[in-house]
Amino acid sequence: METRLMVLHLILASALAISVGSRAESLQEINVTATRLDQKLADIPGGASVVTAVDLHGGRQELGLDESLARVPGVFFQNRYNFTQDLRISIRGFGARSNFGIRGIKIFVDDIPSTLADGQSGVDDVDLGSIVRAEVIRGPSSSLYGASAGGVASLYTEDGPMSPFVEATVGVGEYDHQKYQLKAGGQLNRLNYLLNASYLNNDGYRDHSEVNHSLFNSKFRYAIDDVSDLTLAINAVDSPVADDAGALTPDEVEADPKQAQARNLSSNAGEALEQQKLGWVYRRELADGHEIRLRNYYTWRDFGNFLPLGTHIPFSAIDGVVEFDRFFYGGGAQFTWTGALFGRPNRFSAGFDIDRQEDDRQRFVNNSGNKGALTFDQMEEATEWGIYVRDVLALTDTVQLTVGGRFDQVDLDVEDRFFANGDQSSNVDFDEFSPSVGLTWNVVGDMRLYANYSTAFETPTFTELGNPAQDLGVNLGGFNNIEAQTADGFEVGTRGTLWGRVSFDLSVFDMNVEDEVTNVVSTGNRAFFENADTDRFGFEAGVIADLLDDLRLTLAYTYSDFEFDTFPANPAAEGMRLPGIPEQQFYAELAWRHASGFFLIGDVLAVDELFTNNTNTGTSEAYAVANLRAGCEFTWGQMRLTPYVGINNLFDESYIGNVRLNAFGDRTYEPAPDANAYGGLTIRYSL
């Protein structure tokens, strides 16, 4: 507690001292829309970051979002190199519990959700080649988006320029890395368009880790008139190969970090998927500062996964292949009013969201990598709907009040169609009201102090509600008895600019979580969950400094003190640190971008050791990984060439890129690649 008070006093004292001594103006006006109101980043009363195109691209290999978003404090990534399990993202520790996919975080692409109605998110359909902006809201966000304890990541793709263009990129690298991209866009009368297609093949650093991934993404915006427009997004993914090398024991890592887990090889572990997404957003400005937005979307997903279930559990002989056909659809509406309330500037929004998920799911015997007899068959249906309001009122010329609230209901239903073990049909409903309130004080110039109180809830996903049937010798359907988790937290911080060249964002938070959905065991590559109460205290700092006109330094530091409070299913874990989350994380980047087009960028990510299980008896060692990339833009008339090269893990650090929590037999560690090089060329022709 003394440490927490010291950090809190330090941040407030520093903020006041810096604010009084500064008269700097903003480097630029940065607006954020992920808060469901178009407002300045400086005015948001909580942790928020914006990453723009110059940092999202610029000679990156573009295997995952973590390459560019590691600069955001409070955000921790794992698993860039295992495409079977998807990138693992955690914000303030939420999401770390998942051994695959993303939990506790709402993800949107061009205002269309990539988060399902049951709360699971994925980014395998995110088109890294056309993302130009990422907004990250850190902390409880249920008053904005419903079941979202960790925060929000809202991604935006580029618009077509006024002059049409065609662009081709070829990237190659070690481990037979090949990436090809073809992009085109422009403006045709009232129609703005952007189309991008990409193909990725990578054999992987480890055995049995190949990925083959094709993606098409497009966006069309039609200006109906001067006050309204319609945006249509079409996205398709085809990934027939994504092999899973599996996790290794410490002895196996020491012997050969490149090897695949023997069980994964014998069962041909990996996944294949096809997905199509269609979404549209309609916006219209009304009279006197009024605006409406409507959105609607549809997603179809065909998925198959071979799991490496071992012979150490009774049901392993009858389960090991998962397949489902998914239909995910929904929509929403939002009304926004900008005007005056009590004679003071005010912005108000209100709206609703409704999302529906239908998974036709089966499981089969895994006969040495071949699909066998049916062992499980059920229809899973999730419906989430919510209504919300949010208001931002300027109480004075320097103090702004933000209040919001949202009511949500989530219905999860399972219809069992496999009756060999009885009818396991189940239904569970969750509902919650989530308020938030925040204050922002413009102390002087561009300096702000902020404080907020916010709440959140998060329901277990269908996967997390799965029955831990290993002691029964059968694969049960239906639900385990898990409650939805709730959280309430306080946060104070400061952000601003100094001398017109340095921007900073410091925040400290304290959060209590009741009934947190917690991984208790990972058996046969499947995880099972129970509830526990946890406490979270953290400090986050981000600094961007223009040392010279062409030289920029970016720093991000995260301190996380997260512990179990009560844990009925595992009392030995009470007082232990939450696994899968480092206590400290530090990111630094030095970027030189010359006006001639040359750039040279180096970065380093230092991650503290983290625990691999709830009782803290296993650890993954600390590491520091440096990367270097360089390139240049050459322009000849209407053509622009951008060659680039890069080295990942510049100093050949041996480290673990992903940890599987509470794994059976200590099969916990997924080694990351050693030093490896890549390069590429982008050719752009503008008409």
Domain locations in the chain as residue ranges: 2-686
Domain 2-686: give its CATH architecture. Answer: Beta Barrel (2.40)
DSSP label at 248?
A: B
In Å, how far are 426, 517, 532, 630 from 465, measured between CA atoms?
11, 10, 15, 47
Reading phi first (left if > 0) and then psi (alpha if -120 to 50, else beta), residue 99 is in alpha
Express each pLDDT in 626-682 by its tens digit. 999 999 999 999 999 999 999 999 999 999 999 999 888 889 999 999 999 999 999
Question: 342, exposed or middle or buried, with CB in 10 Å at 0-12, 13-18, 19+?
Answer: exposed
**Is it the case that residue 213 has pLDDT exceeding 60?**
yes
Under DSSP, the state recorded for 102 is B
pLDDT of residue 461: 85
For residue 577, which of 524, 635, 538 has the smallest C-alpha distance?
538
pLDDT band at 98 (very low <50, low <70, confident <90, very high): confident
Give CA–CA dist 402/393, Å, rounded.
6
Is 292 in contact with 329 (CB distance < 8 Å)? no
Mean pLDDT for 395-410 is 96
Q: In the numeric block, which tokens belong to residue 144?
A: 């904005």
CB–CB of 499/640 below 8 Å? no
Asked if residue 22 has pLDDT above 80, the reply is no
Mean pLDDT of 258-281: 95
Residue 24 has pLDDT above 80, yes or no: no
Q: The pTM is what? A: 0.92
pLDDT tens-digit series, residues 315-334 = 444 568 999 999 999 999 99
Q: Tell me how far apart the alpha carbons of residues 419 and 428 are, in angstroms, rounded to a whole number.
A: 20
pLDDT interval class at 522 (50, 70, 90): low
C-alpha pair distances (Å), 687 with each of 130, 270, 639:
19, 44, 9
Strands 228-243, 211-225: parallel, antiparallel or unpaired by DSSP?
antiparallel
468 band by pLDDT with thresholds 50, 70 and 90: low
